[in-house]
C-alpha cells in the first residue's frame, strides 16, 4: 500500500496572477503558504483486476475510459496502465470547495502515489507541472498554477509565473520570529459556504483574454500588493502585512460580483471591529475560509465564535507532497 499526503494552502499576496490569461502577457507573482491540513491518497493493488475508487463516491470499472472522476481518469491514462488492477482511496482534513486549493493538492498526491506505486521517482517541479497539465490543459479548468506548485513544494514560497509558462519558486526569507507571529496571529474561520472556484475564475479568465481595462488594472495592482507583502513579511512588519491584506480584499471584491455577499461582508466588518488588522476570503472567493491577521487574537476569536464561525487552527508545512508509507 502507498499512502501520500499533500498540503492545502493559503495565499499571502498576489493571488489571481497565476492564471495563463494574465501571466502570458504580464508575468505573475504571488506568495503562497502550505499548511498542515492535508489531502491523503492511498493506492494499492487489489486481488482482482479492475479499477476500484473510493472518494465521495464509489466506482468499480474495468477500463480507464469508464472512470467517472476526471482527474483520476486522466492520471491513470498518463501513467499508461494497460490492464488496470488498482484501488485508489482519498480522504481530506478539510472539505473541497473551501478555497484552500484542495483540487491541486489531490492531483499532486494522486500523481505522487501512482509514481511511487510504479516504482518511479518524480521531482517536485515535474510533479507540479504534470498536475497543472492534467487540470488546466487536459481538463480545461480555468484555474491558475499556484495550488499544484505549493502542494508539491510546501513552505512559505514566492512564485513567479513567466510568460513562457515556466514557474520559478523561491522561499520567502522570513525570520523564525515572523513565522511564529504568523502562525499565532493569522487566523482561519470557516464561513459554512462551499463553492467551485471555476465560475469566478472563468469570469476573470474571459475578461483578461479580452484585455478588459478594469480587470487588468486590478490584477496589476494585486501583483504589486504581492511584492509589497513580500517586503513587509521579510522585514518582519506583520501589521503592515495585515493592512495590505485588507487592501487586497477591497480590490479582489471588484473582480467579480460573486466574490463576496452581504453575510461575508458583515462578518468581515465584525472582524475588523474586533481585533483584525486586515483579512480576505482565501481562494477564488464566494465562500470557504475567511483569513485575518489579528492584533488581538483573543478578542477576534471571541467575536467570530459569537457569530457562529468555526476556527481551523494550523501551522505551516515545509515538506510538500510526501510519501507517508510504501509497502
Residue 206 has a pLDDT of 61
CATH node for 2-172+318-326 = 3.30.230.10
**Rounded Cα gap, residues 232 and 160, in angstroms:** 18
Instruction: Give the C-alpha separation, 204 to 83, whole Å.
Output: 41
For cell 487489489, the residue is 46
Write down the pLDDT at residue 205.
54
The three-state secondary structure class of 64 is: helix
Residue 317: active-site member: no
pLDDT at residue number 287:
75
Half-sphere exposure of residue 312, counting CA atoms within 13 Å on the CB side?
23
Given a contact cutoff of 8 angstroms between Cβ atoms, the answer to whether 152 and 125 are in contact is yes
**Measured CA distances, 165 to 21, 121, 150, 285 (Å):** 11, 23, 16, 25
**For position 213, what pLDDT does the model report?**
80
Identify the pLDDT of residue 286.
Answer: 63
pLDDT per residue as tens digits for the range 244-288: 999 999 888 877 777 788 999 999 999 999 999 999 998 756 678
Q: Answer yes or no: are the C-beta atoms of 35 and 213 closer than 8 Å.
A: no
Buried b (16+ CB within 10 A) or exposed e, 126-137: ebbbbbbbbbbe
Question: Within the chain, which residues score under 70 in pLDDT?
Answer: 194-211, 284-286
Write down the catalytic residue from 147, 181, 203, 317: 147
Q: Distance between CA atoms of 2 and 35, rounded to whole angstroms?
A: 22
For the chain, which residues make up each domain, given as ranges?
Answer: 2-172+318-326, 176-312
- Quote the crossing angle between the two packed helices 297-306 and 262-272, to the nearest 10°: 150
Enter the pTM of the model.
Answer: 0.93
User: For residue 286, what is the enclosing H or E element?
Assistant: none
CATH architecture designation of domain 176-312: 2-Layer Sandwich (3.30)
Specify the pLDDT at position 214: 84
Give the max Cα distance, the chain: 60
What is the pLDDT, as a whole number, of residue 203?
Answer: 58
Which element (helix H / strand E) includes 202? Answer: helix 198-209
Please report the pLDDT score of residue 198 as a whole number: 52
Distance of CA 74 to the CA centre of its chain: 20
Q: What's the confidence (pLDDT) of residue 327?
A: 86
| Closest alpha carbon to 31 in 199, 233, 217 | 233
Half-sphere exposure at residue 288, Cβ-oriented, CA atoms within 13 angstroms = 25
Report pLDDT for 208: 57
**Burial class of residue 219 (count of CB atoms within 10 Å of its CB; 0-12, 13-18, 19+):** buried
Amino acid at each position: 500500500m502507498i499512502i501520500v499526503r499533500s498540503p492545502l494552502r493559503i495565499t499571502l499576496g498576489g493571488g489571481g496572477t497565476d492564471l495563463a490569461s494574465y501571466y502570458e502577457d504580464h508575468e505573475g507573482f504571488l506568495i503562497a503558504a502550505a499548511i498542515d491540513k492535508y489531502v491523503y491518497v492511498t493506492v494499492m493493488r487489489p486481488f482482482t483486476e479492475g479499477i476500484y475508487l473510493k472518494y465521495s463516491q464509489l466506482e468499480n470499472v474495468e477500463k480507464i475510459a469508464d472512470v467517472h472522476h476526471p482527474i483520476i481518469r486522466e492520471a491513470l491514462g498518463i501513467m499508461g496502465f494497460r490492464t488496470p488492477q488498482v484501488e485508489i482511496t482519498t480522504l481530506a482534513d478539510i472539505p473541497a470547495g473551501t478555497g484552500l486549493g484542495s483540487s491541486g493538492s489531490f492531483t499532486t498526491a494522486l500523481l505522487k502515489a501512482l509514481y511511487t506505486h510504479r516504482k518511479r521517482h518524480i521531482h517536485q517541479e515535474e510533479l507540479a507541472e504534470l498536475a497543472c497539465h492534467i487540470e488546466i490543459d487536459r481538463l480545461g479548468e480555468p484555474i491558475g498554477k499556484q495550488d499544484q506548485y505549493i502542494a508539491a513544494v510546501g513552505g512559505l514560497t514566492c512564485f513567479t509565473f513567466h510568460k513562457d509558462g515556466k514557474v520559478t519558486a523561491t522561499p520567502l526569507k522570513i525570520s523564525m520570529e515572523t513565522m511564529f507571529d504568523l502562525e499565532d496571529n493569522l487566523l482561519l474561520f470557516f464561513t459554512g459556504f462551499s463553492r467551485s472556484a471555476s465560475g469566478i475564475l472563468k469570469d476573470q479568465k474571459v475578461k483578461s483574454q479580452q484585455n478588459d481595462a478594469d480587470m487588468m488594472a486590478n490584477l496589476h495592482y494585486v501583483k504589486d500588493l504581492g511584492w509589497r507583502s513580500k517586503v513587509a513579511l521579510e522585514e518582519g512588519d506583520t501589521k503592515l502585512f495585515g493592512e495590505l491584506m485588507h487592501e487586497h480584499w477591497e480590490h479582489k471584491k471588484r473582480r467579480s460580483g460573486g466574490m463576496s455577499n452581504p453575510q461575508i461582508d458583515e462578518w468581515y466588518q465584525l472582524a475588523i471591529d474586533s481585533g483584525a488588522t486586515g483579512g480576505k476570503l482565501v481562494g477564488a472567493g464566494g465562500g470557504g475560509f475567511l483569513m485575518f491577521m489579528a492584533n488581538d487574537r483573543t478578542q477576534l476569536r471571541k467575536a467570530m465564535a459569537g457569530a457562529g464561525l468555526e476556527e481551523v487552527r494550523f501551522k505551516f508545512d515545509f515538506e510538500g507532497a510526501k510519501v507517508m508509507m510504501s509497502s
